[in-house]
Amino acid sequence: MMGRLNERVAIVTGGARGIGAAVARLFAAEGAGVVVADVLDAEGEKSAAELGGPARYAHLDVSGEEGWQRVVAQVERELGPVSVLVDNAGILEAQARRRRTR
């Protein structure tokens, strides 16, 4: 059954790659307007472009309230009220530290 999320707007944090990107693809396939929110600008923009339709990329560091306020205001202006939030953001600093110690 496709289209279960028609006319819905979803923000997917950590949506540039991995599980977040997979969730964003699924939501877009189900008809949602998807906002890929991430700190990985190039990957996030690519992920959103691949979704097509009303998908957008928004730079968002989830650790600060100001970033959330900016992104939610932008999403509501461009796509309408947020219906779904998938909080999938990870911690890039820890990943970088692990790579350095290998």
Segment 53-102, tens digit of pLDDT: 899 999 999 999 999 999 999 999 999 999 999 999 987 665 555 556 66
Name the DSSP letter for residue 35: E
Give the chain's domains with CATH numbers: 9-101 (3.40.50.720)
- What is the reported pTM? 0.87
